[in-house]
Amino acid sequence: MSASANRMRGGMAALPFIAPAALFFSVFVLWPIADSIWVSLHDWDGIHRMRWVGLGNYTELFGDDVFYTALVNNIWWLLSYMLAPVFGLAMALFLNQSIAGMRLYKSLFFFPFVISQVVVGLVFSWFFNGDFGLLNLGLHAIGLHGVSLLGNANWATPSVIVAGLWPQTAYCMILYLTGLTAVNGEIVEAARMDGARGWNMLWNIIIPQLRPATFIAVVVSVVGALRSFDLVSIMTKGGPYDSSAVLAYYMYEQTFLSFRYGYGAAIAVVLFAIMDIYIAIFLVIMLRQERR
């Protein structure tokens, strides 16, 4: 359905349709991006006048240990979130059967994604609680020592990531379940005739056909990992002593708890720059598909 000749012509005719959305989007998304970059070049506490510091905030940021902790944690989030498509696929394969009640099972498995991250965070804080959490109860039962995961600098980030993977895996699972319904049955049967089985079949026949689902699953997982604010805010507030901070949370903390708006904006700009890489990749792939 490439560019058909009889589509309506003219940007002017399209303007009244696009203008309202474009206006809102410009005011609340585009202009703020520019303004944040501007603020990041200043020292500002929200009370006194803004004071121009040029790249001062960035120089300080690149010498700030917490910034690197947050950056490294962000990378851990990103890498760990790549497990969501893997687990999601595994669950989808497990559930891709047509027996009575399967629909209900699928929706119950999907359930965690529908719930707010605030609730997910509360549920897991509690699950992980070193004093009375269900997890530690289990560990004790099998004779292991309990740990207070969220109060421990080494365990806090992995624990929060586990909480995040729960809804994220559900999300990927649904993408793959939908993808599996579109898998070409004839090709699968033909491959079976040729003796393809199990892993071999999955790797060579199924996964290539699931490429669109994988693409979306990876994209949403990357975005989810970089947006990891809610769970950190609910479960650890970046603690203990910044060990579980991520850029999104550190930015919030510097802005609203330390009242360093310029510094906060500089952190946001760095996060934005990282995200831009993914946005660019996504756009290139998207637009290339369009052209085809």
Partner 1 sequence: MFPRPIQTASPGARALYRVALPVSLIIWLLPLLAIFLTSARTAQDLAQGNYWGWPHGTNLFGNYAAVFTSSPMGRYLLNSIEITLPAVAGTLVLSTLAGFGLAKFRFRASSFVLAIFIAGNFVPFQILMIPVRDLMIHVFPLYNTIWALIVFHSAFQTGFCTLFMRNFMREIPDSLLEAARMDGAGSFRIFWLIVLPLVRPALAALAVLEFTFIWNDYFWALVLVQSDSARPITAGLQALQGMWLASWQLMSAGAIVAATPSVVVFFLMQRHFISGLTLGSVKE
Partner 2 sequence: MSRTSWVVRFLMGALALAPVAARADSITVNTDQSDPQPKAAFQEVVKRFEAANPGTHVVLNVYDHEAYKQSIRNWLTSAPPDVVLWYTGVRLRQFVQPGLLADVSALWTPAMKEAFGPTAVALVTDNGKQYAVPYTQYQYGIYYRGDLFQKAGIGPIATWDDLLGACDKLNAIGVAPIDIGSKDLWPTAAWFDYLDLRINGYASHMQLMSGKMSYLDPKVRDVFAHWKQLIDRKCFVPNHAELSMQESQALLFQGRAGMMLLGNFITANFSPEMEKVMQYAPFPSITPGVARAEDAPMDSVAVPQGAVNKAGAMKFVAFMMQPDIQEMINRYEKQIPANTQAKLVDDRFLVDGRKLLQATPDHSQFFDRDTDEALATLAMKRFQEFMIKPDRLDRILADIDRARLRIYAPAN
8 binds, among partner 2, partner 1, none (CB under 5 to 8 A by kind): partner 1
Residues 13-32, interacting with partner 2 (CB under 8 A) = 31
Peptide bond into 212 cis (omega under 30): no
The verdict on 3 binding partner 1 (CB under 8 A) reads yes
Site string for partner 1, 112-131 (x = CB under 8 A): x-xxxxxx--xxx-xx----
139 binds partner 2 (CB under 8 A): no
**Residue 280 in contact with residue 74, Cβ under 8 Å?**
no
Site for partner 2 in 216-275 (CB under 8 A): 237, 239-242, 253, 256-260
What lies within 8 Å, CB to CB, of 260 at 6+ separation is 43, 44, 45, 254
**7: phi > 0 → left, psi -120 to 50 → alpha, else beta; which?**
beta
The one among 61, 149, 161, 175 contacting partner 1 by CB under 8 A: 175
Residues in the chain, overall count: 292
3-state secondary structure at position 52 = strand
84-113 binders of partner 1 (CB under 8 A): 93-94, 96-99, 105, 107-109, 111-112
For partner 1, the binding residues in 216-275 under the rule CB under 8 A are 216-217, 223, 226-227, 229-230, 233-234, 247-248, 251-252, 255, 261, 264-265, 267-269, 271-272, 275
Binding mask 38-67 for partner 1 (x = CB under 8 A): -x----------------------------
Residue whose C-alpha is closest to residue 220's, from 69, 72, 88, 34: 88
Stretch that binds partner 1, among 52-60, 78-86, 150-158, 206-214 (CB under 8 A): 206-214
Q: Is 203 in the site for partner 1 (CB under 8 A)?
A: no
- Choose between 156 and 213: whose C-beta lies nearer to partner 1: 213
36: three-class secondary structure by DSSP: helix
Name every residue whose Cβ is closer than 8 Å to that of residue 230 and which is 6 or more positions away in sequence: 117, 118, 121
In angstroms, the CA 253 to CA 233 distance is 10
Q: How far apart are CA 73 and CA 230, in angstroms?
A: 15
- Cβ-proximal residues to 188 (8 Å cutoff; 6+ apart), any chain: 201, 205, 206
- Least Å distance, CB 115 to partner 1, is 5
How many residues bind partner 1 (CB under 8 A)? The answer is 107
Rounded Cα distance between 181 and 115, Å, is 25
Interface with partner 2 (CB under 8 A): 31, 35, 38, 44, 46-51, 60, 65, 129-131, 148, 150-153, 237, 239-242, 253, 256-260
